[in-house]
Amino acid sequence: MAERTERDGWTVDATPLLEFVRRLPRVPSYLLLAMAFMFWVRAQSYRNFLGGDGTVRLTAIDSWYHWRTTMYTVRNWPRTMPYDPWTAYPTGTYVGQFGTLFDQIVATAALIVGGGDPSQETVLTVALLAVPAIAALVAIPTYFVCRRLGGWVGGMLGVVLLALFPGRFIGKSTAGMYQHHAAEVLFMTVAVLAAMVALTVAERERPRYEDVADREWRALRRPAGYAALAGLAVALYLWVWPPGVVLVAIFGLFFAIELSARYVGGGSPEPLAFVGAVALGVTGLLTTATMEVTEVHPAAEGPLQPALALAVAGGCVFMVGLARAWERRGIDRRYYPVAVAAGIVVAAAAIALVLPSVWERILRGVYGRLIPVGYSATALTVAEAGPPDDVLGFFYEQYGPAFLTGLVGLAALAARSVLGDDHRAEHVLIVVWALVLTSMAVTQQRFNYYYVAPVAALNAVLVGEIVGGIDRGDLPRVRVVDVGRVAVLLGLAAVVLLPLTTLVPPATVLDAGGDQRPSRDAMRWQSTNHWLEANSPAPGAWGGANNADEFDYYGTYPVPEDGDFAYPEGAYGVMSWWDYGHFITVQAERIPHANPFQQNARSAAAFFTADSEERAQLVLEAIPAAEKSDDLNRLDEGELAALADERTAQERGEGSRYVVIDDEMAGHKFESMRTYAGEDADAYRADREVQVVEDASTVSGTVTAPTRDEAFEETVLSRLYFDDADGMEHYRLVHNDDQQSQFVTVAVSRDGGETWEPEYVNRPVTQRVLDTLDRLQADPDAEVAVYDLRMQPAVKVFERVEGAELTGTVDAPAGSTVTAELRLTTEQRGRTFTYEQTATVGEDGSFSMTVPYATREDVDVEEGYTDSSVTADGPYAIRVDGEVVATAEVDESALYAGETGEVAMRTE
C-alpha cells in the first residue's frame, strides 16, 4: 500500500506484492528447457524465409492473409481490419477469424521492436519468430494442467510429450507458418486451466445463492474472482479465433452433466453453477463489447459468441432454480437430468422454429466439424478438412503410443469421476474436453493441432495413477515400493517417449521443424503477381479513372449494411481458383474474386468449366447481380443473360479484367472445380486411343486408356491455358511465367493391357509423380502407360477485353472461310505461338470477326491499361483457302474500346 510521510514523501509498502509473487507457482527449470527446445526446433528454418531483398516469404496459404491483416494493424494500430474490399470481388468480405488478437499481439511486438515505425523487414522478422515463441508458451499452461492431474511427474511428462509430438501442432507452428493455430492452442489451454482452478476454488469455498442475495462479498470474492478470470481467459481465446465458440459449447456440456450429477448424487449444484454463471457471463459481456457484425456466423465476431456464452451462464442459473424447485416439491432427484435434457431440447426447438437460419448454421458447424458425419462434397476437396483414412495409423503418426496410453488415462479419469470418492469437477471437465477434441480430431485432420494438450494431460493422469500421486479412494491402485514405482515410470516413459525421438522412425519434431521453406505455390506465383502489380493499372485507375489514391490498400472501410461493397470507378477483379486468392491480394495487390475462405468458389468453377466463351462471359457479367454466386452453376445461358441485364449502373462497372491460371488448376485441381460445378466424378474423362511414350520424344505404341475428353478441351480453362485463347474473341494472353511445367497422364494395367486404371490424369510432373512412376515401373505385376505429354509455362495471365472487330471484303465465294492469323511472342522465354480467328464470307464477299490481340501498342499502364509482355510479330495475315489475301493492323486501344467498323487492312 502507498502512504505519504512528511520526510520522504510517497513510500510504497511492497509486502502485498511480494506475498503475491511468493505465492505464484514456481516454474521448474525443466519447463524452461522444454520451452527453449520447442522454440529452437520451430525456429531453426527461420533464415530460409529471409531473402535479403525485402520480399515476403511465408508458407501455407492462410499465412499470407494473416500477413495482410497484421500489416494493416501495424499501420492502423490498435485497430484491426473491419472489412476488406481487396478480396472476394465484387462484394468484399468481413473475415472475423483474421485480424484478431493474434495479429494485434504480433503487430504490437513489431511496433515495439521497430521503435513505433517498423520496416516491412522488421515486421517479417517478428512474424517469423512469433509463432514458434507462442508455441513454446503453450508448455506453461500444459504443465500446470498436467500437474493438477498427475503431480509434478505428470506435469514433467506432459511437457516433454508436448515438446516431442511430431504431428499437426509443430506443423502449424514453425517459422514461416504465420497462422493463428499456436495461439489457439495457447489460449484454449489457458482457459481450461483457469476453469479448473475456478472450479476447485468453488468446491472449497462453496458459494451459494444466499451469499449472493445477502451480498456476502467477502465469501464470494475468491470464487467470483477466479471465475471472472476464467471468463476473461475464454474471451481471450475467442478474440484469437472466433470459431472457438466450440469451447463455450464444451463448458455448456460440462455444466449440464456435472450439475445434474451433483444434484442426483445428493449434493448441491450451486457452487459450480456460480462459476459457470460468472465465468460465462463475463465472457458474454466482453465479447458483446467487441462485436463487429450482426451476422450470426461462427467465423465472425458477432452475436453468436456472446449469445452462446450468456446462454450457458443463464443455463447454470436455470439449473440452480430448477434444483430448488425440485426440492420444494419433493420430486425424485433421479428425474432432474430428464428435466434438464427436456429444457435443452425445448430451447433448441425454439431456435429452430424462430431462427431457422441460425439453427442451420449451428448444424453446419456441428456436422463435419465436431462429429464425423454430414460432409459436403466440396468440403472434402480440402484434404485436411476430411477424416483420416486410417484412424489408428494417423494418430500414431501424430502422437506415437502416447495416443493409446492417453486413452487409458482417459478411461481411468472417467472411472475416477464416476466411481471414486474423490470426485472433482475439474476431472469431469478434462474428460468432456478430451472427448470433444477427440471427436474433432477424428472428424477433421486439421484439428489435431488442438489435440496435443489433451493427449499430454491424459498421459499425466496415467502417470499419476501409476506412481500413486493422486488419492483415488477405493479405485484399484498400484501398490509398489518406491523403487518399483520408479521402474514402472521409467518403463512407461520408454514406451511413450522413445518412438518420438530420433532413435526410432517415423518423423520426429526435428524432421518437422528442420527444413521448412516458403510454399512452392507462393514462390511460383510470386514473379507473376509482381508482374501483374507492375504492368496493370492500380484498382481505381482502370480505363483512366482517377480513384486509385482514394482506394487505399491499407485503407479502413466500414462493414457495408448489405455486405456488398460499392467499388469506385476503375476498380476491377481477378478471376482465378480460390487457392490463390491470398497470393493475388498480397503479392499483386489486386482483388481476387475467389479466395481461400472458399468464397465465390462455385462461381469461379462456373467460369472455368463453362463449355463456351459465350457462357463464360455471361457468368462474369451475372456475378455482380447474383445474390448467391452458388446459383450460377445451375442457370442456363438465358437465365444468366437475364441476370446480366438486371445489373445496376454500379454493378455494370464491377467486372473481372484478368484471369490467372497455373499448371495445377489445369491439372489435378480441375477435379475440385468439377466438384464445385456439381459435375459427376466421371465428367471430363473418357477412354481414348493414345500414344504411349518411353520418353519425351519416343513413341512406343498406342493403347486405349483414360484421359481428358473433348468436353474438357472445350472448357474455358483448357482453351485459355493450353490453347493460349486461340479462337477466342475477348481474352488475350498478356504474360506467362518463366518456369515450365511438364504434364503427363499415367495409367496402370494389371491384366495384360485389357483394362487401364488412371494413376494420374493430366498432372504436372512433380517429385511425387516421379517417385510413384518409379514404384509402378518396378512392380512386375503392373504394366504402365505414360502418355499425353505436353509442356506449358507454369502460370499464365489473360486479359479480358472487348475485342476489335475486323471487317473487310475478299474475293471469295459465299460460305468460304476467312482466317485471321497472328504470330505472337512472349517476353518470358521468347515463346512463340499462333492465334487464329475465323469468319464466313457473306454473299457480297464481306466478313466480320472479333479478335483480342493487337499488332500495335498505343496505350500503357499510366493511361489505365495493361502493358502486355506478349507482342505481335507483324500484322494479322488474312487467309482464304490457305492463301494470304490481305493483312490487318489492330491498335491496342481498339481492343478496349470494342471498336466496330473496318479495321485498317491492306491487300498483299
Q: What digits encode the pLDDT tens for the residues 658-697?
A: 999 999 999 999 999 998 888 887 888 898 888 888 765 5
Question: Which range in 38-42, 135-139, 765-769 is most confidently predicted, on average pLDDT?
Answer: 135-139
Beta strand ranges found along 419-510 (DSSP E): none
Check residues 270 and 615 and name the one with the higher pLDDT: 615
Q: Is 757 helix (H, G, I), strand (E, B) or coil?
A: strand
Is residue 301's pLDDT more than 90?
A: no
Tell me which long-range contacts 317-323 makes (C-beta under 8 A, separation of at least 24).
317/273, 317/277, 318/343, 319/255, 319/256, 319/259, 319/260, 319/263, 319/269, 319/273, 320/209, 320/259, 320/269, 320/270, 320/273, 323/259, 323/263, 323/268, 323/269, 323/270
Q: What pLDDT is attached to residue 586?
A: 95
Dist CA 116 CA 89 (whole Å): 33
Q: What pLDDT is attached to residue 417?
A: 78
- pLDDT tens digits for range 471-490: 433 334 444 444 455 555 55
Residue 365 neighbours by CB under 8 Å, 6+ apart: 243, 246, 298
- pLDDT tens digits for range 781-811: 888 889 889 999 999 999 999 999 998 888 8
- pLDDT tens digits for range 197-207: 999 999 888 88
Q: What pLDDT is attached to residue 184?
A: 94
Q: Is the pTM above the cut of 0.95?
A: no
Dist CA 650 CA 571 (whole Å): 11
Is residue 513's pLDDT more than 80?
A: no
Residue 290 neighbours by CB under 8 Å, 6+ apart: 239, 301
- pLDDT tens digits for range 385-418: 667 777 788 888 888 888 888 888 888 888 887 7
Burial of 406 (0-12, 13-18, 19+ CB in 10 A): buried
- pLDDT tens digits for range 846-904: 899 999 999 988 899 999 999 999 999 999 999 998 888 888 999 999 899 876 545 55
Q: What pLDDT is attached to residue 327?
A: 82
Range with lowest mean pLDDT among 138-152, 369-383, 672-686? 369-383
Residue 446 is given by DSSP the state: G
Q: What pLDDT is attached to residue 473?
A: 39
Q: What pLDDT is attached to residue 297?
A: 72
Q: What pLDDT is attached to residue 309?
A: 93
384: enclosing H helix or E strand: none
Question: Which range in 52-56, 384-388, 515-519, 533-537 is most confidently predicted, on average pLDDT?
Answer: 533-537
Is residue 177's pLDDT more than 50?
A: yes
Mean pLDDT, rounded, for 244-273? 89
Cell representation of residue 485: 514405482
Peptide bond into 539 cis (omega under 30): no
- pLDDT tens digits for range 108-121: 999 999 999 999 89
Q: What pLDDT is attached to residue 304?
A: 86
Q: What pLDDT is attached to residue 106?
A: 95
Q: What pLDDT is attached to residue 683?
A: 85
Q: How does 525-535 read in b/e, with b if 16+ C-beta sit within 10 Å?
A: bbbbbebbeeb
- pLDDT tens digits for range 540-552: 999 989 999 989 9
Is residue 210's pLDDT more than 90?
A: no
Cell numbers 503487430 label which residue?
Answer: 107
CA quadruple 847, 851, 855, 860: dihedral, nearest 10 = 140
Is residue 384's pLDDT more than 70?
A: no
Dist CA 468 CA 488 (whole Å): 11
Is residue 503's pLDDT more than 70?
A: no
Q: What pLDDT is attached to residue 12?
A: 47
Check residues 631 and 874 and name the one with the higher pLDDT: 874
Specify whether the backbone of 130 is left (phi greater than 0), alpha (psi in -120 to 50) or beta.
alpha
* Bridging pattern class, strands 9-12 and 2-5: antiparallel
DSSP for 156-174? HHHHHHHHH--SHHHHTSS
Residue 367 is given by DSSP the state: B
Work out the pLDDT band at 463, boundaries 50, 70, 90. Answer: confident
Q: Residues 380, 381, 384, 388: is their CA dihedral positive or negative?
A: positive
Q: Give rounded-to-5 percent helix, strand, coil for the chain.
A: 50, 15, 35
Is residue 47's pLDDT more than 60?
A: yes
Q: What pLDDT is attached to residue 665?
A: 94
Is residue 16's pLDDT more than 80?
A: no
Residue type, position 34, single letter: A
> Which one, of 800, 828, 806, lies nearest residue 886 by Cα?
806
Instruction: Provide, rounded to the nearest whole percent, the portion of the chain with pLDDT above 70.
Output: 86
Q: Please, are residues 790 and 722 in contact by the beta-carbon 8 Å criterion?
A: yes
Is residue 9's pLDDT more than 60?
A: no
Q: Please, are residues 164 and 508 in contact by the beta-carbon 8 Å criterion?
A: yes
Q: Please, are residues 850 and 894 in contact by the beta-carbon 8 Å criterion?
A: no
**What residues are paired with 888 via a beta bridge?**
876, 905
Check residues 574 and 355 and name the one with the higher pLDDT: 574
Mean pLDDT, rounded, for 282-286? 95
Peptide bond into 207 cis (omega under 30): no
Peptide bond into 28 cis (omega under 30): no
Work out the pLDDT band at 495, boundaries 50, 70, 90. Answer: low
Mean pLDDT, rounded, for 773-779? 89
Work out the number of other CB atoms within 10 angstroms of the CB of residue 58: 24
Q: Where in the chain is the domain with CATH 2.60.40.3390?
A: 802-906
Q: What pLDDT is attached to residue 420?
A: 63
| 802-906: CATH class | mainly beta
- pLDDT tens digits for range 568-599: 999 999 999 999 999 999 999 999 999 998 89
Work out the number of other CB atoms within 10 angstroms of the CB of residue 2: 7
Q: Please, are residues 553 and 587 in contact by the beta-carbon 8 Å criterion?
A: no
Is residue 281's pLDDT more than 60?
A: yes
Mean pLDDT, rounded, for 296-323? 86
Burial of 4 (0-12, 13-18, 19+ CB in 10 A): exposed
Mean pLDDT, rounded, for 190-202? 95
Residue type, position 493, single letter: A
Cα dist. 477→135, 463, 487 in Å?
Answer: 35, 12, 16
Is residue 421's pLDDT more than 80?
A: no
Dist CA 821 CA 908 (whole Å): 14
Is residue 173's pLDDT more than 70?
A: yes
Work out the number of other CB atoms within 10 angstroms of the CB of residue 739: 16
Read off φ and ψ for residue 879, nearest 5 degrees.
-115, 145
Average per-residue pLDDT in the chain?
Answer: 85
Residue 327 neighbours by CB under 8 Å, 6+ apart: none
Q: What pLDDT is attached to residue 475?
A: 37
Range with lowest mean pLDDT among 495-499, 581-585, 775-779, 819-823? 495-499
CA atoms within 13 A of residue 254's CA, in its CB half-sphere = 31
> Which one, of 164, 132, 147, lies nearest residue 28 by Cα?
147
Check residues 698 and 481 and name the one with the higher pLDDT: 698
Dist CA 435 CA 270 (whole Å): 25
Q: What pLDDT is attached to residue 255?
A: 93
